[in-house]
Amino acid sequence: MSRKRRVFEIDMPDEPAAEPPADFPAGKDEREQRRGPMATAINETAESTRDRARLEAQIRAENDALAQEHVRLKRAGLITDMIPLDAIDTRKLIRDRAPGADYELAELVESIRDIGLSNPIRVEPAGDGRYELIQGWRRLSAYRQLLEETGDAEAWGRIPAGIAARGDELESLYRRMVDENLVRKDISFAEMAQLALHYAMDPMTEEHDPEKAVAILFKSAGYQKRSYIRSFIRLMESLGETLMYAPEIPRALGLALSQRLDEVPGTAAAIRAELKDWDTRSIKDELEILRRYAGQGGDEDAAKPAPRAHAPTVPAGKARTTFQIERPQGSAKCTAANGRLEIRLPRDFTAVDRRRLEAAVRAMLESLD
């Protein structure tokens, strides 16, 4: 008996069915699926390396920009820090303040004590954790006085300072100091003339003539003012070491006295003789003597210098000899003038034993006889 075969009817769709969507990971395609796990891992690692390289390059660019900005601000003296007072040296620049009492320093000390320092000093790194003062001699002096008076190192042992980048030429540093101080009404012609003399004698500068140094240092001053400074140079060359109150000399007196020094031989020697060993004189005493010799006093006869046994007359003159001698410590700048011999060398002569120093100077003087 044969079985009867069953027939099933199947309805076929008119269009082929769409393929089921492949469940691929995000960002991957079928080719990556076919690469296998190892190839995929390598590709992901490469992409990660490229992303990290791009990020590192971006960070380096930002760091370079920050470094350049830091150097710019530092060169401008806008990077400030609290610097220990005993880490600050004052040897690089010769200040335009005459030695002696600074009668206005007390006012500055009280101002800083009451309201603090409104304008930081300016220094540059000198190596080994030390700094060289560029601007702010009186502010630094005020802090040192406050530290000495109070003994409070926490409050006055450090001073706010703008740290400038090293490399500025010495002439630029002198110009900055001069321009800063020219705005002060109390800077005297004697102090400006003394600065020109010091600049010419500085072994690190190139100009040896103080009158030419005036043109370098005081470019921002007018012609007439530079002329007055040159007249005071003559006065400071002849009497600078004798005078106790040179900054107090008025302009008119200084100009008249400078002219008298040129016209009347022996005037400088006579003034030095009269002021010799008179350490108790006042400002008024000194100015009265200078006025008398300048022809501004009441006794004209007293203005005529007379030779004295204890003070031989030294002929006046503008002669000056300058030269340099190379030494292991640097270049020694020597200036020989009428009645004066100066040697400037970047060396601390106070560290030399006094007896050795005295013997060396005596031998030098004896060799000149």
Helical spans, DSSP H, in the chain: 30-35, 37-75, 105-115, 137-150, 153-156, 170-182, 189-201, 210-217, 223-239, 251-263, 267-275, 283-293, 354-368
Q: Is residue 123 part of a domain?
A: yes
What's the domain range around 101?
77-167
Q: Which residue has the tokens 């190839």?
A: 39
259-264-268 Cα angle (round to 5) = 80
Each residue's pLDDT tens digit, 254-307? 999 999 998 888 999 999 999 988 888 899 999 999 999 998 865 444 444 444
Q: Which residue has the tokens 């609290």?
A: 82
**Sign for the pseudo-dihedral over CA of 353, 363, 316, 233:** negative
Model pLDDT, residue 310:
42
Q: Is residue 219 part of a domain?
A: no
pTM: 0.48
Average pLDDT of every residue of the chain? 77
Q: Is residue 12 part of a domain?
A: no
- C-beta of residue 271 within 8 angstroms of C-beta of residue 239: yes
Boundary (domain end) residue, out of 167, 192, 212: 167
Q: Is residue 362 part of a domain?
A: yes
Each residue's pLDDT tens digit, 3-33? 656 655 666 666 655 555 555 555 555 555 5
Q: Is residue 66 part of a domain?
A: no
Model pLDDT, residue 44:
74
Q: Is residue 291 part of a domain?
A: no
CA–CA dist 106, 212 (Å, integer): 35
Least confident of 230-244, 253-267, 327-341: 327-341
Q: Is residue 148 part of a domain?
A: yes
Boundary (domain end) residue, out of 124, 146, 167: 167
Q: Is residue 163 part of a domain?
A: yes
Each residue's pLDDT tens digit, 37-58? 777 777 777 788 888 888 888 8
Measured between alpha carbons, how far is residue 309 from residues 40, 170, 243, 273 in Å?
109, 45, 22, 10
Query: In CATH, what number is assigned to the domain containing residue 105?
Result: 3.90.1530.10
Boundary (domain end) residue, out of 149, 167, 185: 167
Model pLDDT, residue 23:
56
Q: How far apart are the first and last CA of the chain?
A: 161
Beta strands 130-135 and 88-89, pairing class = parallel
CA–CA dist 197, 241 (Å, integer): 13
Least confident of 137-151, 169-183, 254-268: 169-183
Q: How many domains does the chain have?
A: 2
Least confident of 78-87, 173-182, 212-221, 284-293: 173-182
Each residue's pLDDT tens digit, 88-128? 988 777 654 545 556 567 888 888 988 888 888 888 888 88
